[in-house]
Amino acid sequence: MRPVLTLAGLLLCAFASPPRIDSWNGGPKTPDFHHLTVDCRTVVHTHGRNGVWGRWEADLADVALKIEGNQLRLSCAEGAACIRAGRLDKTPDRLSTHDAPLADAAAAEAMIEALMALDRACAG
């Protein structure tokens, strides 16, 4: 059974100091787990333990974040390749879009709320 992402958990992380979203979609016992962190400056999605199966990161100012279905889509402005991609701590590749999966529709709704709360916290 996969852990469920809760709104309370996301909001608690979003209001921590500094403001941050820290979301695990899956877990260490799940072979396809994903970790998503968003703060006032960066967004990072890793797949697998320590990003062994993939790592994508971008400066928050350079990307638009949008929930599409059960995914968080990162898109660079004007098709620029601003998303750093790779594995572990090496990100030599550049992409213009990337989709980070969310557990289900409830997790997608919770992520929308958490992103709005983070946006307010970062603006203040």
Domain ranges of the chain: 7-123
CATH architecture, domain defined by 7-123: Roll (2.30)
Decide if pLDDT at 13 tops 80: no
| pLDDT tens digit sequence for 14-71 | 455 689 999 887 544 455 688 999 999 999 999 988 888 999 999 999 999 999 998 9
Residue in 40, 34, 45, 48 with CA at minimum distance from that of residue 17: 40
pTM (2 d.p.): 0.81
| pLDDT tens digit sequence for 96-111 | 999 999 888 888 999 9
- The sheet with strand 71-76 has its strands ordered as 63-68, 71-76, 97-101
Strands (E), 1-124: 20-25, 34-39, 42-47, 54-59, 63-68, 71-76, 83-87, 90-95, 97-101
What is the distance between the alpha carbons of residues 104 and 116, in angstroms, rounded to a whole number?
A: 19
Environment class of residue 79 by beta-carbon count within 10 Å: exposed (0-12), middle (13-18) or buried (19+)? exposed
